[in-house]
Structure 1
């Protein structure tokens, strides 16, 4: 059995579908209300909360008599939307155990399955928290009671409904290759997944959820949680923050070893890996989340696993999501290790694509993953503020649909903002936001609207097919220009086009068109209009009851046939086919 001081706090990752209540569950455990402060009520950065073993004992009751060596649980609240697959994978690698949150009423969603695949890939033990039991029809709330006690107080219909919902989850998990059962029926937690029904809103089932997590850690993970107290500390930066009286600080998850005031640490920055010295260490109070804690206590050293704030000089440009390591001997190998890890940021770049900026590695990877899923290219992806150089680079992108900048939770530097106001950079569009999926949606909406307008402009300039017949008793002028009444037999007749006979001989230029003595620019099939034709004389080039076709340039025929055909009315398609057949008598490949 490992000694108590050599057992570190297990890191617990909380995963699941958006809106299924992950942050609400943690809020219940730590008695806070973080969810209301998040943009769109979706967690956008990993938060860390330490829940000490005494607090877990108080909440769980049934643990009082057990001799526990685990000092508590460190919860990481991972971001909620499916865009964060990559960051969750990073979280999965960091975590010792996980809670997968599933709304018992909605069951498995695509994101839930993503979470399970990540945990399977990383071989991370986990528990299913089946949340929102208080929303089951007819559920009688028993605030903060253990699930089994509350369940026994429900009527038969409600108990049957819950059993049915739990077995639906068991079936879903079985389809995915997992053997699962309700927690109180599991005899071997190594072989079977435990499903714990809970309510974050009422606190029901929270006691058993914590008991199962502690039990898993205690029974099956003691060896994995053993660590060397004297080993150099290793962690991951959650956030880089300016703090009053301290300057720039790092919010850090220490997941191995020890870090102390005076230690040299290696930190990844935008300018490369720097070595700096720890000036102060601050710990959030137990049960408080590091991202929203306003009062910290100063400590001399911290042992893993823990969420801590580190004050040190030269942290400018430190990159959130990157590794931090205490330097115990020669700095060279540590610098090289971190540099290599930073080079492996999971973003696929394209020769043509967007310029993407974000405040953390995790967010950058997640944003890039979301764009990649939509087949949107990324030319450059970097952590840091949006600079003048980014704007200049975006302006040079040839494809107008990629002439955009995406900035997630990162500032726009003043010289970049000034450049974006310059009329010569009006073609560059900036998208800013703190919710990734909204940022991507905004860009896609803009791109699609730009495509629609571009297509519309292109189609407006295309010479459209049309066929007309010169009407009897409607010759108003014989020449210079000829003015005649015509009926549009098919297609769309527009001014500014050339007309040709059915033999393909060009006869003149359609200068203007009138209907009811008003000038018009176009007329559809069935309309009767007066037209003026430059270069034609009635009785020579044209005659009453002649059928004339619009003489379409060869380039325009290619566009009509390749890009527009399905959008054209049947009558227009028929006129186009008649005109191309005429041209292809002499040259079979004309317009192809």
Structure 2
């Protein structure tokens, strides 16, 4: 029923006092005595016309306002149509526009229905009310019909239940009567029924009542009819089985083909249901729940025999918000189990680890003297690698990017004093974890300090690492050939850090030397040999090898490559080993010069090929007998690491969420994708970049790994709107397409200083000039020719851009930088040229590098200054 309009409501609608509206209605010829009287649509139109005439407007405008002559509707529909197929497939937009003009029928344009004499609005309202009333009547009749159907079904169910109960009572009474008859007449009946050798006799006069005659069935064999007990079907069915009791006969008789009587509810609940009845527990059941390092809420609920919601509720009461699929740690799970009234025990899930420990302990051989492991540490540009180069008589430092070491180098050197294994660590501040790892692996730390520079921050850090690892320290005061060298100042500065030289009555050997001229290097080797004799270093020479991963990388041609240091036993080719969460069989072993070897003993670093993946630097490796044990241990470690990672990433405590809510309002976020050539560089970059976070900006490393930049890395960066950083690696063709399509920021670096400085400038909001490396050309090596004048000359085809002789170049192998330098010659046929453009063949000679191979790429680049903008 629609709501009618009164004078009071109309006055409120047109924002006019009620008294004034009554006066206007009276002037228009309509008398109303009360504000609560109803105003019809016709009276409203009449009042509107009166007011228009009063203000000098025509009556036609009123009619036009009340009943428009026509209505125009515009409709537009857009569709997509696919034309062609394959590469010629195109999508065409099809737009359909439609214009409809509605004109009222003749005779009704004045707003009056001629059939009823009412206005059109009142006629429409009456029609709507009529349809509503018809719908309400239909719904009411339908509800009445459904109620009658429900009542009829309920009556039928009650009648059926009453008949079943009556039938069950009747069957119970018949079974009890039959049992009493059989018990009293069993022996006489059997005597009458058997004679001679136990053959059954014919029944004398089988008397059956009408009910028994209708339900009787013919029995053959050993279940013959027995005289005297055939009058009941329940007794006739088991007449030959005298070992059954009356209760068993009654139970079996009702179990065959007859409806089972309903159990007494009180009997079933009370626990008096016979020998197999259920007994209600008198005390709560306390279970022992085995909980590992981490467990999901769903698994914990299953072990507790509870619903997942109950466990989630208990966690919520403890202040931990977790869903049923999340993982919780061991301590939280124990608290929940005890809160719910059960007992928690630690799960023994280290079966494979225990087997591995027992496996390694089985084989222990005789120990013998082993070479010392010496780690070279110190500040940047103090001459660590140059000193090692002089000992090895090689030129390693000239090949480092920017002249600084960015990897852990492992070498073993044959010296007149014996075999010594050296670990060369980087001196940059970002490689703290590398230096700490080198100090843990080593027997002796050689601290290199420049005599003209003094004690620097990384020098102090190296002293702290050596002291934490409890290894002896030998100080090598380098660059004494310079005029500004002052060795005594170095010794005095080291006194401040509790490093006392032997000259001052201390225990630390300090050797003055020059890595450039070789002066004092023999004295350093003597000091190392003396310290090794004092330590009496011994290890098992034969047996299963154990050791530590120094560095790891991913080679596209060879797969995962791990540089390991053998600490005990002997590592041979073909051994099965487990290394952290990776496992595999040793397919090949290489020394630091790239030469294949059959095995490696204690204190010897080698490169291992054949692992299932890239292990983390610092992981321990153990040789086992079979691949099964190695695979089980690796999978168990991976599962434990994944559970721990899920627990750490959950952040499911209320306090943590509240703290994050407070920070999210003003803190910005910078997402990065970091790919590098070795695992140690990835680790150093992650630590250095995340340490730049402050209250205003947070730096997130969303993806990191070893190897070239792949398409999946580029897609992840596009999703998170991240900047891609390639450290000595390059993006492949598919990744470059994704970068160009999405307009991503892809930056290549070869020196860690540049990475940290650029990210630090962005994070600090400092604007200025930045140096970018722009690749201007790439040449692919098709073949290599040997020349007596130039050495190895690469026959190349320029595939991108232009190659210029005056620009620096890099040699790429499988998208990984293997050399950085400059061109020695650039020739087109026999003529020297300054540049070679795309799709042109040329000959390239790389200065100081003769290991160019077919399939390599020579990348020509230039460094440009770009104004940084927001």
Change (3 A) 1:113 1:281: same
- Give the whole-Å Cα distance in 2 for the aligned partners of 1:94 and 1:414: 40
Deviations 1:186-241 (A, max 9, x none): 6xxxx62111111001111111111111111111x215x43463243323152446
Contact 1:264 1:326 in 2 (8 A): yes
Contact 1:97 1:125 in 2 (8 A): yes
Change (3 A) 1:226 1:256: closer
* SS state at 1:304 partner: coil
1:207: which partner in 2? 522
* SS state at 1:135 partner: coil
Contact 1:386 1:413 in 2 (8 A): yes
Change (3 A) 1:236 1:105: same
1:235: which partner in 2? 548
Which of 569, 572, 588 is the aligned partner of 1:280? Answer: 588
Which of 409, 419, 442 is the aligned partner of 1:47? Answer: 409
1:302: which partner in 2? 600
In the TM superposition, residue 445 of structure 1 has moved relative to its aligned partner by: 4.1
In the TM superposition, residue 173 of structure 1 has moved relative to its aligned partner by: 1.9
Which of 667, 682, 687 is the aligned partner of 1:364? Answer: 682
* SS state at 2:502 partner: strand
1:123: which partner in 2? 470
- Give the whole-Å Cα distance in 2 for the aligned partners of 1:113 and 1:388: 43
**Map of 1:392-403 to 2, 5 A cutoff?**
392-397=715-720, 403=722
Which of 240, 251, 260 is the aligned partner of 2:572? Answer: 260
Contact 1:431 1:443 in 2 (8 A): no
Which of 508, 512, 522 is the aligned partner of 1:193? Answer: 508
In the TM superposition, residue 127 of structure 1 has moved relative to its aligned partner by: 0.7
Contact 1:322 1:342 in 2 (8 A): no
Which of 583, 602, 622 is the aligned partner of 1:325? Answer: 622
- Give the whole-Å Cα distance in 2 for the aligned partners of 1:323 and 1:341: 15
Q: Which runs of 5+ in 2 are unaligned?
A: 1-364, 650-659, 770-870
Aligned residues: 377
1:226: which partner in 2? 539
1:99: which partner in 2? 446
Contact 1:253 1:307 in 2 (8 A): yes
**Map of 1:27-176 to 2, 5 A cutoff?**
27-52=389-414, 55-57=415-417, 72-136=419-483, 165-176=486-497
* SS state at 1:310 partner: strand
- Give the whole-Å Cα distance in 2 for the aligned partners of 1:341 and 1:77: 30
Change (3 A) 1:250 1:340: same
In the TM superposition, residue 104 of structure 1 has moved relative to its aligned partner by: 0.7
In the TM superposition, residue 342 of structure 1 has moved relative to its aligned partner by: 10
Mapped pair 1:15 → 2:314: no
* SS state at 2:416 partner: helix
In the TM superposition, residue 117 of structure 1 has moved relative to its aligned partner by: 1.5
Contact 2:443 2:472 in 1 (8 A): yes
Which of 680, 687, 705 is the aligned partner of 1:383? Answer: 705
Contact 2:553 2:679 in 1 (8 A): no
- Give the whole-Å Cα distance in 1 for the aligned partners of 2:554 and 2:701: 28
Change (3 A) 1:333 1:389: closer
Which of 389, 399, 420 is the aligned partner of 2:739? Answer: 420
In the TM superposition, residue 395 of structure 1 has moved relative to its aligned partner by: 3.8
Deviations 1:41-76 (A, max 9, x none): 111111111123xx233xxxxxxxxxxxxx521001
- Give the whole-Å Cα distance in 1 for the aligned partners of 2:391 and 2:637: 37
- Give the whole-Å Cα distance in 2 for the aligned partners of 1:222 and 1:179: 23
TM-score (ref. length: structure 2) = 0.40
In the TM superposition, residue 360 of structure 1 has moved relative to its aligned partner by: 3.1
* SS state at 1:204 partner: coil
Q: Which runs of 5+ in 1 are unaligned?
A: 58-70, 138-161, 285-289, 454-592
**Map of 1:556-575 to 2, 5 A cutoff?**
none
Mapped pair 1:408 → 2:727: yes
In the TM superposition, residue 256 of structure 1 has moved relative to its aligned partner by: 3.0
Contact 1:6 1:229 in 2 (8 A): no
* SS state at 1:281 partner: strand
Contact 1:262 1:278 in 2 (8 A): yes
Change (3 A) 1:118 1:353: farther
Change (3 A) 1:231 1:248: closer
Change (3 A) 1:404 1:297: closer
Contact 2:583 2:634 in 1 (8 A): no
Change (3 A) 1:95 1:181: same
- Give the whole-Å Cα distance in 2 for the aligned partners of 1:105 and 1:324: 42
* SS state at 2:481 partner: helix
Which 10-residue stretch deviates more, 92-101 or 31-40? Answer: 92-101
* SS state at 1:127 partner: strand
**Map of 1:445-524 to 2, 5 A cutoff?**
445=761
In the TM superposition, residue 366 of structure 1 has moved relative to its aligned partner by: 1.3
* SS state at 1:43 partner: coil
- Give the whole-Å Cα distance in 1 for the aligned partners of 2:382 and 2:690: 25
Contact 2:371 2:602 in 1 (8 A): yes
- Give the whole-Å Cα distance in 2 for the aligned partners of 1:342 and 1:9: 38
Deviations 1:262-286 (A, max 9, x none): 2102245xxxx3432223333x3xx
In the TM superposition, residue 35 of structure 1 has moved relative to its aligned partner by: 0.4
Mapped pair 1:444 → 2:767: no
Mapped pair 1:354 → 2:716: no
- Give the whole-Å Cα distance in 1 for the aligned partners of 2:642 and 2:462: 24
TM-score (ref. length: structure 1) = 0.57
Deviations 1:338-379 (A, max 9, x none): 88789999xx99994432333333222211222234325224
- Give the whole-Å Cα distance in 2 for the aligned partners of 1:410 and 1:125: 38
Select the structure with the greater relative contact order (CA < 8 A; seq sep ≥ 6). 1
Contact 1:320 1:359 in 2 (8 A): no
Contact 2:455 2:494 in 1 (8 A): no
1:581: which partner in 2? none
Which 10-residue stretch deviates more, 366-375 or 380-389? Answer: 380-389
